[in-house]
């Protein structure tokens, strides 16, 4: 019995997948196998484990250089992709089907709102009331972030932003109150200036369920 929340349609449309690694961001251009309001099934050549966060541009237009929104999604299932099928596989093989001999189809579920588990902010408060003066809005754009005394930067993605701060998904560990320099790609639709690095301070670090990545919140320094 099909218990899916949304009806799926078998459509092949271009999609761009972006994800962060310890060595920088990677991008793959694919075509969907089927789509729904809640997610996509995408055959791709890269291997992604269930629970991994990806940023999805869908439908993707390669002729546009900027302005295409990216949606945060999570890999919920991996199946073997076969010719003439929609990428589905029996449940027993869908959990870990990739063996290098066949391409994989990843089932992606859009994340309407980022959820995390509070940790690592040094004060031991797991349930903390929001007291920010500047409202945040969801926005996913590439950014570069580095420690103030280190020349090497990390390529990351924002989760949400405000006039005074932002939250980004990181594959590195940063200490609370660490001084970070943040900059954006010149062509991206970004909320802060792109011609210079912005001095920020780490105010919160959050763990992400079923992921080794961290959500790091920084605030601009006056």
pLDDT digits (tens, 9 = 90+) for 142-193: 899 999 999 999 999 999 999 899 999 888 899 999 999 999 877 656 778 7
In the structure, what pLDDT confidence band is assigned to residue 74 with cuts at 50, 70 and 90? confident
- Of residues 24 and 179, which shows the higher confidence score? 179
70-85: average pLDDT = 77
Q: Which of 20-34, 121-135, 180-194 has the highest mean pLDDT?
A: 20-34
101-110: average pLDDT = 82
134-142: average pLDDT = 83
Q: What is the rounded distance in angstroms from the CA atom of residue 36 to the CA atom of residue 13?
A: 12
Domains of the chain (ranges, CATH numbers):
14-110 (2.40.10), 117-220 (2.40.10.220)
Q: What is the rounded distance in angstroms from the CA atom of residue 214 to the CA atom of residue 218?
A: 13
């Amino acid at each position: 019995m099909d218990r899916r929340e949304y009806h799926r349609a078998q459509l092949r449309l271009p999609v761009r997948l972006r994800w962060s690694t310890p060595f920088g961001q990677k991008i793959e251009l694919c075509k969907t196998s089927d789509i729904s309001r809640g997610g996509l099934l995408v055959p791709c050549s890269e291997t992604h484990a269930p629970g991994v966060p990806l940023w999805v541009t869908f439908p993707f237009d390669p002729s546009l250089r900027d302005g295409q929104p990216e949606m945060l999604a999570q890999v919920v299932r991996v199946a073997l992709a076969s010719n003439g099928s929609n990428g589905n596989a029996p449940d027993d093989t869908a959990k870990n089907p990739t063996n290098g001999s066949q391409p994989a189809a990843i089932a992606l579920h859009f994340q309407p709102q980022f959820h995390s588990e509070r940790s690592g902010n040094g004060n031991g408060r797991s349930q903390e009331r929001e007291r920010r003066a500047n409202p945040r809005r969801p926005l996913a754009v590439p950014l570069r972030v580095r420690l103030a005394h280190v020349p090497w930067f990390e390529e990351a993605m924002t989760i949400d932003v405000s006039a005074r701060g932002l939250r980004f998904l990181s594959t590195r560990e940063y200490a609370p109150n660490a001084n970070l320099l943040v900059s954006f790609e010149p062509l991206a639709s970004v909320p802060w200036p792109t011609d210079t690095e912005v001095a920020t301070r780490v105010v919160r670090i959050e763990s992400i369920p079923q992921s080794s990545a961290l959500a790091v919140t920084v605030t601009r320094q006056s």
